[in-house]
Chain A
Amino acid sequence: MSRLTLAAALVALVALPAAAAERFVLVQSTTSTANSGLYDAILPQFEAATGIQARVVAVGTGQALKNARNCDGDLLVVHARAAEETFVAEGHGLARHALMHNDFVIVGPADDPAGAAGTPDAAAALTAIARAAAPFASRGDESGTHAKERALWTAAGIDAAAASGTWYRETGSGMGATLNLAVGMDAYALTDRATWVAFANKAGHRIVAEGDPALFNPYGVIRVNPERCPNVRAAEAEALEAWLLSPAGQDAIAAYRRDGQQLFHPDAAD
């Protein structure tokens, strides 16, 4: 083995344990809260207040819940109400607390070939897209946004999955990757407003439908049940949950803006 590889081994030995020493909490999270920059804005405040490092694994609500079921995480920040309640009811989580909300929007190409922009609500917009067989990029990944999207299709009485591979395109990717694809192929897509506002590759895409109460997007926070998962960092998880729901955490969430817009609205009752 050469001197170079030996040196490399030494570097690795020195560098690796350094990351494991401090107190931390592992958050399994939806991607929108990470991609929109919210965590970068608020978590340093939590870390300064408590000395606990918040480590975020941003994977999409479906996978976050699955990982937490495997006990690979201490706290969940997700947005799929029904799946969250199942998670708690099955004993994997302690309780679901309302953290904050924003809304979903339907975005599409500037020239709006399906004429979705003039429609009164989300169901009508989706109906217009389906009728025009205009390309629609779906997450297709069991994320919170995907769950909402399927509920919206069902409410509109359209079996979009039947058109999979034609105008209905399931990307199986995160929100940002799906938006990149939608922009690339002039497709419509459902996205949470936070990711959309922060998204830097909009090209000509714009919001074509918004404001329908059906597009409400609530985020919940859930502590993983330490009785089922003895390995969880219970005290640290409790500290982060308490901070997020406290006036300090709620104010930090409300204060986060991109392009002058507030992206998340705090929901914790005080």
Chain B
Amino acid sequence: MDGFSGAVSAAFGLLAALDPELTGIVGLSLAVSLGATVTACALGMPLGALLAVARFPGRGLLAAMISALMGLPPVVAGLAVYLMLSASGPLGPLGLLYTPTAMVIAQTLLVLPIVAALTRETVAALHDEYDELLRSMNAGRMFALGTLLVDARFALTTAALAGFGRALAEVGAVMIVGGNIAHATRVMTTAIALETSKGELALALALGAVLVALSALIHGAVALLRNRAEGPAHA
């Protein structure tokens, strides 16, 4: 493909030169997807742990529903959030449509099931292992939950990263609730879609390369932190 390598070096050149347009788009992508991942972890990890440990009627059904929602199409999540936030929707008066906050909400919907389902599996396995010990210590339910979550922290980073990956990669939800507004709600994936629709295929692909490189950088950094924290004992 002619012009592709040129477009890639131009895209990375803009990034290296801290071109305000591109860095703004990249920054918003990271802020929105990280915001969604953090929110989803704050809600999804306790939920997943609870599903792993607690016994209550409908637990199996709830767990199955959450697993099923891992396949929720982003465009459906976007539509649902659009209908809620639209000026004629129930949350319209908040005026959140076409703002980064709306994008965080939509992506949280996408990330939450992944984080909750993976947390449930991890914690369930640990719970089987430590149940007797925790009982012998007479540990309360909250203490037990907290202990299990802390012990599972490395596996949970993977859950968070999987969720972050989904958020960073999706285009359907942020396109609908963000509107791809220049300098306001344009992120990497919607910018790629826009360049594609202008027929600027090489530039679109180059932006994709930037996105993948950033994602690799983040995963690498997390792996590094994890290796250091885990130490040789666990290796």
| Contact string against A for B residues 135-174, beta-carbon threshold 8 Å, 1 for contact and 0 otherwise | 0000000000000000001000100100000000000000
**For residue A28, which residue of chain B has the nearest CB?**
B179
Q: Which parts of A20-59 form the interface with B (CB within 8 Å)? A: 20, 24, 26, 31, 35, 40, 53, 55-59
Distance, CA A35 to CA B89, complexed state (A): 29
Distance, CA A78 to CA B37, complexed state (A): 37
- B98 contacts A200, C-beta separation under 8 Å: no
12 A-B pairs (CB sep. < 8 Å): A2-B153, A5-B160, A8-B38, A12-B32, A12-B38, A31-B197, A55-B181, A57-B98, A72-B87, A177-B197, A202-B199, A231-B87
Query: A162 near B: Cβ within 8 Å?
Result: no
The smallest beta-carbon distance between B101 and chain A, in angstroms, is 6
- Which B residues form the contact surface with A (CB < 8 A)? 27-28, 30-32, 34-35, 37-38, 41-42, 86-89, 92-93, 95, 97-101, 104, 153, 157, 160, 179-185, 194, 196-201, 221-222, 225
- A58 contacts B99, C-beta separation under 8 Å: no
- B222 contacts A4, C-beta separation under 8 Å: yes
On chain B, the residues within 8 Å of A127 by CB distance are none
On chain B, the residues within 8 Å of A8 by CB distance are 30, 34-35, 37-38
- B179 contacts A57, C-beta separation under 8 Å: yes
On chain A, the residues within 8 Å of B180 by CB distance are 57-58
Cβ contact of A201, chosen from B89, B92, B199, cutoff 8 A: B199
> Beyond A9-B34, A56-B181, is A179–B199 a contact (Cβ under 8 Å)?
yes
- B28 contacts A15, C-beta separation under 8 Å: yes
> Beyond A72-B97, A231-B87, is A5–B35 a contact (Cβ under 8 Å)?
no
**For residue B160, which residue of chain A has the nearest CB?**
A5
Distance, CA A179 to CA B197, complexed state (A): 8
On chain A, the residues within 8 Å of B196 by CB distance are 176-177, 180
Q: How many A-B residue pairs have CB under 8 A?
A: 112
Distance, CA A137 to CA B57, complexed state (A): 53
> Beyond A19-B99, A176-B197, A202-B199, is A2–B225 a contact (Cβ under 8 Å)?
yes
Query: A154 near B: Cβ within 8 Å?
Result: no
On chain B, the residues within 8 Å of A55 by CB distance are 98, 179, 181-182, 184
- B197 contacts A1, C-beta separation under 8 Å: no
Cβ contact of B35, chosen from A12, A175, A176, cutoff 8 A: A12
- A15 contacts B92, C-beta separation under 8 Å: no
Query: A269 near B: Cβ within 8 Å?
Result: no
The smallest beta-carbon distance between A232 and chain B, in angstroms, is 8
The smallest beta-carbon distance between A3 and chain B, in angstroms, is 8
Which 5 A-B pairs rank lowest in CB-CB distance, beginning with the nearest?
Answer: A176-B197, A201-B199, A12-B35, A71-B87, A8-B34
- B31 contacts A71, C-beta separation under 8 Å: no
Distance, CA A229 to CA B95, complexed state (A): 13
On chain B, the residues within 8 Å of A11 by CB distance are 30-31, 34
On chain A, the residues within 8 Å of B41 by CB distance are 1, 5
Distance, CA A179 to CA B194, complexed state (A): 13
On chain A, the residues within 8 Å of B98 by CB distance are 26, 55, 57, 72
The smallest beta-carbon distance between A149 and chain B, in angstroms, is 18
> Beyond A19-B185, A199-B199, is A12–B42 a contact (Cβ under 8 Å)?
no
- A174 contacts B225, C-beta separation under 8 Å: no
Distance, CA A9 to CA B157, complexed state (A): 15
The smallest beta-carbon distance between A45 and chain B, in angstroms, is 15
Most buried by A among B97, B160, B185: B97
Query: A70 near B: Cβ within 8 Å?
Result: yes
Query: A82 near B: Cβ within 8 Å?
Result: no
The smallest beta-carbon distance between B158 and chain A, in angstroms, is 12
